[in-house]
Structure 1
Amino acid sequence: MMPAARDLLLDAAYAALTRRPWYAVRMVDVAAAAGVSRQTLHNEFGTKDGLARALVEREAAAFLAGVDRALAGGSDPHPRLTALVEWIAAAARDNALVKALLTGCWDAWLPRVEQAAAQPDAAGDRGDGRSLSPAGVLAQVRDRAVAALSAPGTAEPDVVDLAGTCELVVRLGLSCVAAPPGEHGAGDLVRAVLRRCRPDRAGHRG
């Protein structure tokens, strides 16, 4: 199946952003790269600000889908939380828009998007209606982690405050975005923290 015009346009806009700053990206060039008319571009997004908004929302949705994948494997919560932190660090390293969403640092190269609530797409799964600010994105990641680790079939997380532990882990992931851990990877850091969350099982590697 051929991608829809909207997806083609967003792909073209993202590709353009990897080559030049957003202020230098022209709507006519995005339309040409996507193989559609400029009118189609305007029909989909209205203005360049609308295109920027949609592009950031799509990257936010893809990041959150990766969060869900990281949390999906196995029943032991510790490897899943470790995978979550590793995903946060990798996604921010590989995608400047994701890094900006997580840190709030939007440099001149990137489109600046107001931090209003993201609008859900037709399937209802883009943005969760939450703010695109770092606090809003963090809350979504934390809540998804809590939901995943509370699901039937998941082992008891061995912590008194699951929500607090998930928030601590997510904030650890954000610290790895702001200051990459270097020799000790994100996974090693979160494993050390999680061992301390269940001191009665300090020898467990998770």
Structure 2
Amino acid sequence: MDAKDTPAHHTGEVTLRNRIVQAATAITSTNGWSSVTMGLLAETIGVSRQTIYNEIGSKHQLAEEVVFTELQHFLALVDGAFQSHPDDLVAALRTACRDVLVRSAESPLIHAIVSTSHGARHELLPLLTTQSATLIDTAKSVLQNRISPMTRPLAEKELATATDVLVRTILSHVMQPSASPDETADNMAWLARQLLA
């Protein structure tokens, strides 16, 4: 996905696009992504199918919108963690990791994405795995901007590498948890301390 095609999530206004994405998210969370059709979305929102196509484009573009809208919720948790710990990088990262993992564990959408049922594995999952470059780049940019003023002096390449490791590790735990959110957050805090503190 080119930069010009990256879904926009900078407005709090409930636009038609927002309503379409919210409806698609709700249907996916309940019945799986394969249940999402332009016709069902049109019926749910009260507009024509052509209006859905005109606003969103293809179903693949809708999938990107759904995933990137969910990403914004996670990035808001990261921002909140750093605002809560403005002078403690490791504590901020630990809180961010824990909050992200708690939300992912409770998210019906994430559960639907990683589930092998409803055909979700074949359509939404790649956006978090094999086709996740844009998602990872977005998360890395946000995290790196937060980390940079708080860490010891690092070359730009070193900071980018450390951020890449943190983002990919957290994403792997979102997709396949191996411990409780608290335990994983403690492990991530240790890793951040080695890399950055």
Is structure 2 residue 138 aligned with structure 1 residue 140? yes
Number of residue equivalences: 179
Higher relative contact order (CA 8 A, sep 6+): 2
Q: The residue matched to 2:120 in structure 1 has which SS?
A: coil
Deviations 1:149-185 (A, max 9, x none): 223xx4x448885444433433442343323313952
Q: State the one-letter code of the partner of 2:104.
A: A
Consecutive unaligned residues in structure 2, runs of 5 or more: 1-11
1:17 aligns with 28
1:82 aligns with 94
Is structure 2 residue 73 aligned with structure 1 residue 62? yes
Output aligned runs, 1:161-176, within 5 Å: 161-176=158-173
In the alignment, the residues of structure 2 paired with residue 81 and residue 188 of structure 1 have an alpha-carbon distance, to the nearest angstrom, of: 10
In the alignment, the residues of structure 2 paired with residue 53 and residue 170 of structure 1 have an alpha-carbon distance, to the nearest angstrom, of: 19
Give the alignment's TM-score, normalised by structure 2: 0.67
Q: State the one-letter code of the partner of 1:138.
A: I
In the alignment, the residues of structure 2 paired with residue 99 and residue 132 of structure 1 have an alpha-carbon distance, to the nearest angstrom, of: 18
Q: The residue matched to 1:133 in structure 2 has which SS?
A: coil
- Cα 1:5–1:142 change in 2 (3 A) is closer
Equivalent position to 2:104, from 63, 79, 92: 92
Which structure has the bigger radius of gyration? 1
Q: State the one-letter code of the partner of 1:176.
A: H
In the alignment, the residues of structure 2 paired with residue 2 and residue 97 of structure 1 have an alpha-carbon distance, to the nearest angstrom, of: 22
Give the alignment's TM-score, normalised by structure 1: 0.64
Is structure 2 residue 187 aligned with structure 1 residue 189? yes
CA RMSD of aligned residues (A): 3.8
- Cα 1:162–1:17 change in 2 (3 A) is same
The sequence identity of aligned pairs, in percent, is 24
In the alignment, the residues of structure 1 paired with residue 153 and residue 66 of structure 2 have an alpha-carbon distance, to the nearest angstrom, of: 39
Kept in 2, the 8 Å contact 1:12–1:33? The answer is: yes
In the alignment, the residues of structure 2 paired with residue 10 and residue 150 of structure 1 have an alpha-carbon distance, to the nearest angstrom, of: 33
Q: State the one-letter code of the partner of 1:191.
A: A
- Cα 1:112–1:145 change in 2 (3 A) is same
- Cα 1:159–1:172 change in 2 (3 A) is farther
More helix by share: 2
Kept in 1, the 8 Å contact 2:42–2:49? The answer is: yes
Deviations 1:117-146 (A, max 9, x none): xxxxxxxxxxxxxx9834543343333322
Q: The residue matched to 1:72 in structure 2 has which SS?
A: helix
Q: The residue matched to 2:83 in structure 1 has which SS?
A: coil
Q: State the one-letter code of the partner of 1:149.
A: I
